[in-house]
Amino acid sequence: MASITQHQIQKFHKDGFLVLEQFFSAEECDSMRSQIQRIVAEMEVPPHCRTAFSTREEEQLQAQGSSDYFLTSGDKIRFFFEKGVLDEKGNFLIPKEKSVSKIGHALHAYDPVFKQITHSPKVQELGRKLGLERPVVVQSMYIFKQPGIGGEVTPHQDATFLHTEPLGRILGFWIALEDAAQENGCLWFIPGSHTNGITRRMVRAASGASTCVEFVGSEPAYDDKQFIPLPISKGGLILIHGEVVHKSELNSSESSRHAFTFHVMEAKGTTWSKENWLQPTPELPFPSLYT
């Protein structure tokens, strides 16, 4: 893997994202995929936790709000499902390994394979080149984007869900574990959209509310023509600024689009919002990236 150049760093600051092809080896990608297969094979899902993950606001509030399962997943390894894969009794309608939407949110802390990738020397070197002084890992997710049913992710900014004071302190690392093309739901970005702040926040609801989280503000209507697709090969890394607007389409192809993603916060001079759904816990304070 070639080291990041000054020119690429400038491009990242201009666009709000950066593609680094072949950042991870095929072997590293395969080790993550086989590890997740083991995790899924051992997966036991309590019936009341079988909430489908959705990015549509009402469904999101309903599914996540009806259950502490999501809200308390920050320091655990938990399972979220695609829509329509479970019957009303919570039984799988399709094989369980094809039903999972994502696994989160502490793979980086509790799984040896994902921990090693997250803290790998090349990730740490990249952090230093980007000028991160005290980066901490706040969450991680394995995203499946299942063939034929992998749901769309509507346009959003990561800082909506991971809010900091000041803004500009959240950075996403998105690793393609398989080739990601337009057909199987690659990411799309609006270049330069990270410079306008955020318009919407997901916050913890007041205790006693009917849902656990609520949205403050609203997502503007984005012009589809502003988005550009970012196809990327297996092993490629996309750096994602916390405020850049991005999305992915439904996967209508016959190929999955596995990805491992984690978010880092520059902790120096930064306050993590107490209203964020995700909070560090005594069991899992946000670990330093540089360890």
Q: For 16-40, how does the pLDDT look when each residue is reduced to its tens digit (9 = 90+)?
A: 999 999 999 999 999 999 999 999 9
Non-local (6+) Cβ contacts of 76 within 8 A are: 105, 106, 110
HEC string of 104-165 equals EECHHHHCHHHHHHHCCHHHHHHHHHCCCCCEEEEEEEEECCCCCCECCEEEECHHHCCCEE
Residue 63 near residue 69, CB atoms below 8 Å: no
pLDDT score for 63: 54
Asked whether residue 62 carries a pLDDT value surpassing 60, the answer given is: no
**pLDDT band of 65, cuts 50, 70, 90:** very low
CATH numbers and ranges of domains, the chain: 6-272 (2.60.120.620)
Q: For 89-118, how does the pLDDT look when each residue is reduced to its tens digit (9 = 90+)?
A: 777 888 888 989 999 999 999 999 999 999
Q: Give the predicted TM-score (pTM) of the model.
A: 0.93
Asked whether residue 287 carries a pLDDT value surpassing 80, the answer given is: yes
Q: For 177-222, how does the pLDDT look when each residue is reduced to its tens digit (9 = 90+)?
A: 999 999 999 999 999 999 999 999 999 988 777 778 899 999 899 9
8: alpha, beta or left? (left if phi > 0; alpha if psi -120 to 50): alpha
